[in-house]
Amino acid sequence: MQLLRAFTVRWLFGLSWLLLAPLAFAGKPEAVPPVPAANPFPRAQLHALELTYSVLLFHPVAPKADVVAGARKLLAAKYPKLSAPQVPGKLTPEVVVQPASDKDLDPIDEESLRYFGRTLEAEERKQLIGARQATLLSFHVPFEQRNEALLEAMRFAHELATQHGAFLWDAETREYFSPRSWKEARLEGWSAGVPFVPAHVTFHVYRREGEALRMISLGMAKLGLPELVVEQVPPSLSQDMGRFVNVVAQLLAEGLGISADGTLDVDLAKLKDGKLRGQIEARVQKGAARRVKLKALVAQRDQGDSENVLLELGFPGSGDAHSRQVAALDALFGPQPDGVVPVKPGDPELEAVARKARARLVELRERVVKGLRPPEQLVLKAGFRTDDGDQEFMWVEITSWEAGKWRGTLGNEPDAVSSLRLGSRVEIPEAEVVDYLYMNPEGQKEGGESSLILMRRQGQ
């Protein structure tokens, strides 16, 4: 009896917590050069003494009033925590408001908004495209006042943008917002204390070499903390790793420090934020240790990284990077079970789906060779030999094609194939593909018929 996945791979089309930078999935994977040994992250650099961050207000049409003069009046009247008199020898929050120079503004077009304007509605994007006038808000804050100052800064920027019909650009996370989406993302549900960090931070995920991904946060500078980096992440682990890093970021914002031995003690029992705790609890499996220690390392800087300090999360243990990452995810969350359904070989309805999938892949092959453009994704289902000689059908995220074989990383946790784990690198001969899931560059989905058939048979 064969084992067939009843449900689509759990991470497919579910990267709402990520801002995907363009990925190039073309040709033969390059040989991964040896990674130089990383140095322990200096404990003294974990917290910045002073924070500096900025917000740009983009004006689709020229403001009728003096934005700078109005901002100064607004600060004095409603935001005393940001406009207290400067005292010699004492750090106090400071805000500088000034017109932004046209030569320093990058053009805003549909392509840039596709990646950096995800919170905007279609009509809002049309209004923002081509805007060439902006006001710069620069915030300078002592670390001890980081949370209350950030809340006031978010409120002040929102009110000023609302008054002048402006759009907001968070220079740290590199995202565009309307006043509506800024309020929803950055202000609702937060009135004091440590913020819900995932609302103020985003992640860039991209393929730098080979098939693995590099993940880096943007926005931690607003909390006086380093940006977090994870290297060599298999695509199939990206969503779980995103949850993992969100937990680390929140714990750091809540006071987690680096131990004397250079480690971070990531413990779900110490997570205070109720919203994130609720989201994470839905993922944690019974019997999970709910705790793991990571190495705090100095990250290797890459082109386009934030100017903020970079901290790499190192995964202890033996084996390759994939094995160590899986072990850490298992320790914190527990292995995630996937639904499997036994089916008889030669099922006519499923055989028809397989023939249809292989025919469609002849057309999609060229797109993979040229390079998929996010949010474009291709995931294939194929059989893998189980420990007892049968077959278990699982999903694979495709990263390349060559010489009649699809290459990618396993998107399911195997039930009966002990040699593989979620995220393992695998190859699929073209003739063995039984289904596909494809999201085109416009976000439209197709395929996955075998899962629909199995769910229908189960009465779902």
Cα–Cα distances (Å) from 288 to 318, 336, 408, in that order, read: 20, 10, 28
CATH topology of domain 50-187: Cell Division Protein Zipa; Chain: A, (3.30.1400)
The tens digit of pLDDT for each residue in 231-255 reads 999 888 888 999 999 999 999 999 9
The stretches of 89-145 forming alpha helices (DSSP H) are 110-116, 122-128
Instruction: Report yes or no: 310 and 227 within 8 Å, Cβ to Cβ.
Output: yes
Confidence of residue 345 (pLDDT cuts 50, 70, 90): confident
Angle formed by the axes of helices 449-457 and 348-370, nearest 10°: 150
Q: Rounded distance, CA 376 to CA 23, Å?
A: 9
pLDDT for residue 324: 94
Of the ranges 116-120, 160-164, 205-209, which is most confident? 160-164
Location of structure tokens 């949850």: 243
What mean pLDDT do residues 166-186 have? 96
With cut-offs at 50, 70 and 90, classify the pLDDT of residue 413. confident
The angle that helices 238-253 and 274-281 make with each other, rounded to 10 degrees, is 150
The per-residue pLDDT for range 260-269, each reduced to its tens digit, is 999 999 999 9
Average pLDDT, the chain: 87
The label of the residue with tokens 């917002």 reads: 177
pTM, to two decimals: 0.82
Contact status, residue 225 vs residue 252, Cβ threshold 8 Å: yes
Q: Tell me which residue has tokens 């064969």.
A: 2
**Quick one: CA torsion of 329, 330, 332, 338, rounded to 10 degrees?**
90
> Which strands, in side-by-side order, build the sheet including 19-20?
19-20, 202-209, 212-218, 227-233, 310-314, 291-298, 263-267
- Predicted confidence (pLDDT) per residue in 65-88, tens digit: 999 999 999 999 999 889 877 777
Please state the domain extents for the chain. 2-14+340-457, 19-31+197-333, 50-187
pLDDT digits (tens, 9 = 90+) for 110-144: 888 888 998 999 999 999 998 889 999 999 999 99
